[in-house]
Structure 1
Amino acid sequence: MRLRIFLLSMLVAVPALRLAQAAETVQLATYYDYVPWFVPGQPSAGLNARLARRLSEMSGGRYRFESVYIPRRRLDVLLQEGKLTMVVAWVHPRFFGDPERTRYFWTGPLMDDESLVVSPRAAPLEYDGPDSLRGKRFGAPGGHRFPDLEPLIAAGDITRIDVPQIKNALQMIGAHRRLDFTVVDRSTLDALEHEHLIDPALLHVASRPRTASYERSMLVPLGHPALYRFLQEAVVLLKSDSRWRAPPPRAPGKQAGKRAGE
């Protein structure tokens, strides 16, 4: 009797093992190495990791999504060489020169966002198109592109200063040091403020956004139509379930980070 039960348990376990082994690993990449998207040194933290876990659950064992960070410069090289095999999350076709959505597959939106111009509270700037930023010093993470500002940067009308992360630019602006403005998405600004990594009292957000509201989607290489179909269906379902986007509650008394300047 015991032998029979053992053999039955093995018959149940083997298909489950095969299913687990058959799961295809998919790298879910982001080139944002800061909150809310990604937390360096904490692979399970951040919005990208939460999305990877939720997609893995939704696939029913077909895919295992792995959250990874890839520098924007490295991503551009892979795209130019046609060697990209990963899914890139939280992006928009205009970020990659694909307004017609023909170079890559694009899912429906994961969320809406907008781009803001931020300057020191002590020397506030109001944005009225790229020309209103002439003669200013612009802080931005290395490798990130700003097509509307590139002509002025190339002409020397805007001085671009690369920084490691957007929080560094915001901290420098808060201290009114070296930079006149930066460009940051509202989602990131809200997250950095929530994590106490910047002091909003030291910053001025221009009343006019740099861009109108735009959608953040997922880029899928054209060579993966089945994966694209799954993600397209998953995004529709994710719209009605926003719980996966919520960060876990903080431990009582634990500080998430230091304020700018500390």
Structure 2
Amino acid sequence: MSETKLSAAIPLAVNDHSRDIVGMTYVYPVVSRRAGGVSVGINLNPNNACNWRCIYCQVPDLQRGNAPPLDLQQLERELDTMLDAIVNGSFMEEKVPAEARRLNDIALSGNGEPTSSRQFAEVIGLIGRIKQKFGLGAEVKLVLISNGSQMYRPEVQQALEQMREFNGEVWFKLDRAPVDDYSFVNQVALRDSQVVRHAVAAATRCPTWIQTCMFALDGQLPDETAIAAYLDLLRECLQAGAPLQGVLLYGLARPSTQAEAPRLSAAPRDWMENLAQRIETMGLPVKLSL
């Protein structure tokens, strides 16, 4: 077992995804409402830097930028220690609610865009070795939660192909169709053609789900024009050859820490269910989380 030790951790809960909950720099466990079990998160952006700034983001002190240089040896020690506690130790019994005592995945998410790390491909190889060490087969997924912005880079594409070998899965962010080449929700310049090109690049290399967060802004839900544009963009991705697995449709899970936080509120269940049905008519399965 690694020399890195777990600090005392409070019992995990779905509403607390604190990155430092066990005192580590890169690795943190969470109970995921969407996964229905424990997800071991890997944070490649401990500097709280991201190339997007989604207005619903819960990361405090978020700044624009990319992932910093990573200490891969430390990351490997931390992941080894965390998985040893889960697989061979008493972590599940002591820290996880009874109904969630199942290791579902290892997820690259964290406090910024994981693929902005120049060491991203090395991290994928590292995770693959650790999965093999602990005998974690197809039942434990390797999930990349990404805004898709770096999918044009050859080294990222190669890493996605390697992810497929480790039962990998990409969750590709698409919250709204851009308006005038800009996404207000994600606070970034964005074009439909970019989204389509990057979705094809991801989905043809690794199983890919579209990940969509819907909510009300200033008490107003997305209007029909916005929803129609979003659905049209999904169709464009499919028509361009992106073999999408489906859509992960979810609402506000935890409070935003961005300036727009007071303006955000949850979408009603019936509205979300109606949108899910419209997506499903396109032939895309939907997993809805409220």
Same fold per superposition (TM over 0.5): no
- Give the structure-2-normalised TM-score: 0.29
Q: Which has the higher contact order (CA 8 A, sep 6+)?
A: 1
- Give the structure-1-normalised TM-score: 0.31
